[in-house]
Amino acid sequence: MRHGKVNFRTLTETGGMPSAHSALVTSLATGVGQTAGWASGDFAVAFCFAIIVMYDAAGVRQAAGNQARILNQIVEELFREHPTLNEDRLKELLGHTPIQVIAGSILGVAVSWIAAPAY
């Protein structure tokens, strides 16, 4: 929208603000805590799952995106020197910044609290 164009592909792409991965797993963990109890084994499993997914989104996938950016720069330089090479770009926006993960987590908890049935 900044450039005056609407790109619907961004709805299905990874990366960006907020982290949908974080929102989903924190909403799941919060929902399990609300229904099964905060001291339950089910909540403990959901909580650990959420931590692993958020760590992956901010750590491993972010690093892979940075590597893809550097590899794309290398390919661009080689492509200039050898125009017969195929220029397939790697996807650079794979992971999330810590702020995006935190925002997704807050969104997930909020959605779970709002959507929770009254007991």
The string of pLDDT tens digits covering residues 28-81 is: 999 999 999 999 999 999 999 999 998 888 777 677 777 777 877 877 777 777
Instruction: Quote the radius of gyration of the chain (alpha carbons, Å).
Output: 19
Total count of domains within the chain: 1
Q: What's the pTM?
A: 0.64
Full domain range(s) for residue 65: 19-115
Cα 100 from Cα 26, distance rounded (Å):
13
Residue 9 lies in a domain: no
Q: Which of 105, 102, 118, 117 is nearest to 27 (CA)?
A: 105
Residue 86 lies in a domain: yes
| The pLDDT of residue 11 is above 70 | no
Provide the pLDDT for residue 41: 96
Provide the pLDDT for residue 119: 53
Residue 69 lies in a domain: yes
pLDDT in tens, 29-42: 999 999 999 999 99
| The pLDDT of residue 25 is above 70 | yes
